[in-house]
Structure 1
Amino acid sequence: MDLHLQQATSPCILRVCKPYRMNQIRLSFLSMLLMSSVLVSAQTFNLSTELLNGSFNSGGPIGFIDVDNDGLDDVVVFDQGEDVNILYQTATGFNPVHYGEVSSSNQWGACIGDIDNDGIKDIFAGGSYDGVHLMRIGTGGNFEMDNLDNGQMFMQACNMADLDNDGVLDAFGCHDDALSRMWKGETGGLPLNDQTLMPLTGYDFSDYPDTDHSGNYGTVFSDFDSDGDVDLFIAKCRQFVSDPNDPRRINQLWVNDGQGGWTEEALERGLVFYEQSWTADFGDIDNDGDMDIAVTNHSTSMFLLENDGNGYFTDISEGSGMDVSGFFLQSKFEDFDNDGFLDFITSGDNSSNFYFKGNGDGTFDQLDWPFAYNDAMLSFATGDFGKDGQMDLIASYGGVYVSPDNNNPDQFYVNEGNDNHWVCFDLQGIISNSDAVGAQVAIYGPWGTQLRDVRAGESYGITCTAHPHFGLGAADYIDSAVVHFPSGFTVTLDNPAIDTYHNVIEAPCQVGAFDLTLEGAAVLCPGETSTLTAPVGYSSYSWSNGAEGEAISVGETGNFTVLVYDSAGCVGISNPIAIEVYQPEVPTVSIDGNLKLCTGESVTLVCSNAPGYTWSNGATDQAILVTEPGTYSVSVDGECAEPTASEEVVVEVYASPETPTVADSSIPAPASTNLSFDGNELHWYDSETSETPLFIGNAFETPVLDNTTTYWVEDVINHGLEVATGGSSAQDEGQYHNNSNYWLRFDAYEAIVIESVKVFANSEGERTVAVIDGAGTVLDQVTVDVPEGESVIQLNLEAPAGEGLGLRSLDGNPQLWRDGQGSNLAFPFEIGELATITSSSVNNPSNATNYYYFFYDWTVATQAVACSSDRVPVTVTVEVSGIDDLTVLNGALSLHPNPSNGVFQLHWSGTGFGAVTCEVTDMSGRLLFSQQANGVAELGTIDLTQLPKGVHILKLTSEQGTATARIVLR
Structure 2
Amino acid sequence: YSSLFAEVDYFKFAEFKVNLPVPRWIDPETMTQWQVGFKFTAKAKMKNGRLAEIKGWQDVIWEHDLSTRDEIDPGKQVWKIVSWKINSLTTIETDDWLFEEVLDNVIENTDDLELARQSIHENQVREFLKSRKAGNKFEKPYPQWQVAAGERHPTVSIVDLDDDGFDDFYVQERHGRNLFFHNNGNGTFKEIGRELGLDFNGQTSSAMFSDFDNDGDKDVFIGGSLRRCIIMENVDGHFVNRSGDWIAEDNLPFNTGGATVVDFDGDGLNDIYISTYAAYFAQRAIKALQGDAAVKSSGEGDEQIMTTTDFAVNELKAFMREEDFNKLMPLYVETAEGSTLYRSRPGPPNLLLRNTGNGKFEEHVLPDALRIFHNTFQTTWSDIDNDGDFDFYSANDFAPNYLIRNDGGGKFTDITEEANVADVGFGMGVAFGDYDNDGLQDLYVTNMFSKAARRVTSFFTPGRVNYDADLLNGEGIDPLFEQLGRGNSMYHNNDNGEWSKVSAEGEAMHSTEFGGWGWGAQFADFNNDGYLDLYGPAGYYTAPHDQKRNVDL
TM-score by length of 1: 0.31
**For the residues of structure 2 that align with 1:49 and 1:165, how far apart are their CA atoms?**
49
Corresponding residue of 2:275: 235
Residues 442-488 of structure 1, C-alpha deviations (whole Å, 9 max, x = no match): xxxxxxxxxxxxxxxxxxxxxxxxxxxxxxxxxxxxxxxxxxxxxxx
Paired residue for 1:173? 222
Which residue pairs with 2:488 in the alignment?
353
Pairwise CA distance, 1:152: 1.8
Of stretches 315-324 and 257-266 in structure 1, the one that deviates more from structure 2 is 257-266
1:767-794 deviation digits (Å, cap 9, x = unpaired)? xxxxxxxxxx85xx673xxxxxxxxxxx
Greater strand fraction, Structure 1 or Structure 2 = 1
Once residues 436 and 231 of structure 2 are traced to their aligned partners in structure 1, the CA distance between those partners, rounded to angstroms, is 37
For these two proteins, the number of residue pairs brought into alignment is: 322
Letter in 2 for 1:394: Y
Task: Check whether the contact 1:252–1:272 (CA below 8 A) recurs between aligned residues.
Answer: yes
Larger RCO, structures 1/2 (Cα 8 Å, 6+ apart): 1
Tell me, yes or no, if the aligned pair for 2:491 and 2:502 is still in contact at 8 Å.
yes
1:140 alignment partner in structure 2: 186
State the SS of the aligned residue for 1:233.
strand
> How far does residue 370 in structure 1 lie from its aligned partner after superposition?
3.7
Quote how far apart the aligned CAs of 1:266 are. Answer: 3.5
Pairwise CA distance, 1:196:
5.5
Partner of 1:102: 116
Other-structure match for 1:112:
158
Q: Residue by residue, what CA displacement relative to the aligned partner does 1:254-275 show, whole Å, maximum 9, x if unpaired?
A: 0012333211114259631333
The structure that is helix-richer by fraction is 2
Task: Give per-residue Cα distances to partners, 1:557-581, cap 9 Å, x unaligned.
Answer: xxxxxxxxxxxxxxxxxxxxxxxxx
User: How far apart are 1:813 and its partner, in Å?
Assistant: 8.4
The alignment status of 1:154 with 2:168, answered yes or no, reads no
Give the letter aligned to residue 246 of structure 2: M
Q: Tell me if the contact between 1:342 and 1:360 (Cα under 8 Å) persists in the aligned partners.
A: no
Matched, 1:214 2:254: yes
In structure 2, do the counterparts of structure 1 residues 143 and 304 end up closer, same or farther at CA, with 3 Å as the change threshold?
A: same
Instruction: Indicate which of 307, 317, 342 corresponds to 2:416.
Output: 317
Cα 1:373–1:182 change in 2 (3 A) is same
Give 1:140 deviation, angstroms.
2.6
Q: Contact 2:446–2:515 at 8 Å: present in 1 too?
A: no
- Residue segments in structure 2 that go unaligned for 5+ positions in a row: 1-40, 46-50, 54-94, 107-112, 122-152, 286-324, 330-346, 450-484, 504-509
SS of 2:249's equivalent in the other structure is coil
Match of 1:245 among 327, 332, 335: 327
- Kept in 1: contact 2:488–2:512 (CA 8 A): no
Pick the aligned partner of 2:246 from 191, 198, 207: 198
> Relative to 1, partners in 2 of residues 1:327 and 1:198: Cα closer, same or farther, differing over 3 Å?
farther
Post-superposition Cα deviations, 1:517-561, rounded to whole Å, max 9, x if no partner, equal: xxxxxxxxxxxxxxxxxxxxxxxxxxxxxxxxxxxxxxxxxxxxx
Distance 1:395 1:297, change over 3 A: closer
1:794-838 per-position Cα deviation (integer Å, ceiling 9, x unaligned):
xxxxxxxxxxxxxxx514389xxxxxxxxxxxxxxxxxxxxxxxx
> Aligned-pair distance for 1:223?
0.8
For 1:335 and 1:195, locate their aligned partners in 2 and report how far apart those are by CA, in whole Å: 37
Q: Is the counterpart of residue 331 in structure 1 residue 430 in structure 2?
A: yes
> 2:37 maps to which residue?
none
Q: Secondary structure at the match of 1:371?
A: helix
Stretches of structure 1 that go unaligned for 5 or more consecutive residues are 1-46, 56-89, 204-211, 400-404, 406-776, 784-808, 815-840, 842-970
Q: Which amino acid aligns with 1:324?
A: D
The 5 Å alignment of 1:504-543 reads none
Q: Distance in 2 between matches of 1:49 and 1:261?
A: 52
State the secondary structure of the residue aligned to 2:550: coil
Which residue is 1:305 aligned to?
Answer: 404
| 1:359 counterpart SS class | strand
What SS does structure 2 have at the residue aligned with 1:318?
Answer: helix
Contact kept, 8 Å, 1:112 with 1:122, in 2: the verdict is: yes
Distance 1:323 1:386 in 2: 32
Instruction: Look up the SS of the partner of 1:165 in the other structure.
Output: coil
CA distance in 1, matches of 2:516, 2:233: 40
Listed one character per residue, the Cα deviations across residues 897-945 of structure 1 (whole Å, up to 9, x for unaligned) are xxxxxxxxxxxxxxxxxxxxxxxxxxxxxxxxxxxxxxxxxxxxxxxxx
- SS state at 1:228 partner: coil
Q: Distance in 2 between matches of 1:286 and 1:144?
A: 43
Alignment match, 1:377: 518
RMSD: 3.6
Which residue in 1 is equivalent to 2:501? 366
Q: Distance in 2 between matches of 1:108 and 1:92?
A: 27
Give the TM-score of the pair, scaled to structure 2. Answer: 0.52
- Secondary structure of the equivalent of 1:319? helix
Q: Which residue of 2 aligns with 1:291?
A: 390
Q: Supply the AA of the counterpart residue of 2:166.
A: I
TM-superposition CA deviations, 1:641-662 (whole Å, max 9, x none): xxxxxxxxxxxxxxxxxxxxxx
Q: CA deviation at 1:300?
A: 2.6
Are the aligned partners of 1:269 and 1:312 in contact in 2 as well (CA < 8 Å)?
Answer: no
Aligned residues of 1:202 and 1:263 also touching (Cα < 8 A): no
Residue from 256, 272, 295 that aligns with 2:355: 256
Identity over aligned residues, as a percent? 24
> Within 1, Cα distance between the matches of 2:52 and 2:207?
27
SS of residue in 2 equivalent to 1:112: strand
Residues 1:273 and 2:372 are matched in the alignment = yes
Cα distance change of structure 1 residues 92 and 336 upon mapping to structure 2, 3 Å threshold: same
Distance between the aligned counterparts of 1:277 and 1:373, measured in 2? 22
Is residue 430–residue 522 contact of structure 2 (8 Å, CA) maintained in 1? no
The 1:296/1:394 distance shift into structure 2, 3 A limit, reads: closer
**CA 1:393–1:143 in 2, change beyond 3 Å: closer, same or farther?**
same
**How far apart in 1 are the matches of 2:447 and 2:44?**
24
| 2:212 is the alignment partner of 1:163 | yes
Deviation at 1:279, TM superposition (A): 1.6
Deviations 1:614-672 (A, max 9, x none): xxxxxxxxxxxxxxxxxxxxxxxxxxxxxxxxxxxxxxxxxxxxxxxxxxxxxxxxxxx
Q: What's the CA shift string for 1:276-301, capped at 9, x where partnerless?
A: 33321111111111111111222531
